[in-house]
Amino acid sequence: MAELKPGVDLPFRIFAEGRARGEAVVSAEPISLAGEFDAATGIVVGRRSALRGECLTGRILVYRSGRGSSSTSSILAEALRRGTAPAPIVNVSVEHITRYHA
């Protein structure tokens, strides 16, 4: 698996077509949006997250993989509804729960 650092080309598969442009927020650590991301504000609130305090609204979120939660899709749906969601999300390794709700 490729290391997440600037200038590294990552293999990927597209699960949802689209285009995005913006500043990337990159985490080499797995992320759980459940309990670590506030859909009301778009801010990462997880106490142990390397991205704590970062606003993801409209930014490209790049991370290795999620730390599974079946509520991830609900949290993303709420963030989309509120206009606070990252756009897009790029994972090196996609969780099945995220992939099937994309």
Q: What is the pTM of this model?
A: 0.76
**Domains in the chain, ordered, with CATH?**
24-99 (3.50.30.10)
Q: For residue 62, how many other CB atoms are within 10 A of its CB?
A: 18
Closest alpha carbon to 73 in 36, 44, 34, 29: 34
First and final C-alpha spacing in the chain: 23
30-83 pLDDT tens trace = 888 888 999 999 999 999 888 999 999 999 998 877 776 677 888 989 999 999
On the 0-12 / 13-18 / 19+ scale of CB atoms within 10 A, 19 is exposed
Q: Which residues carry out catalysis?
A: 69
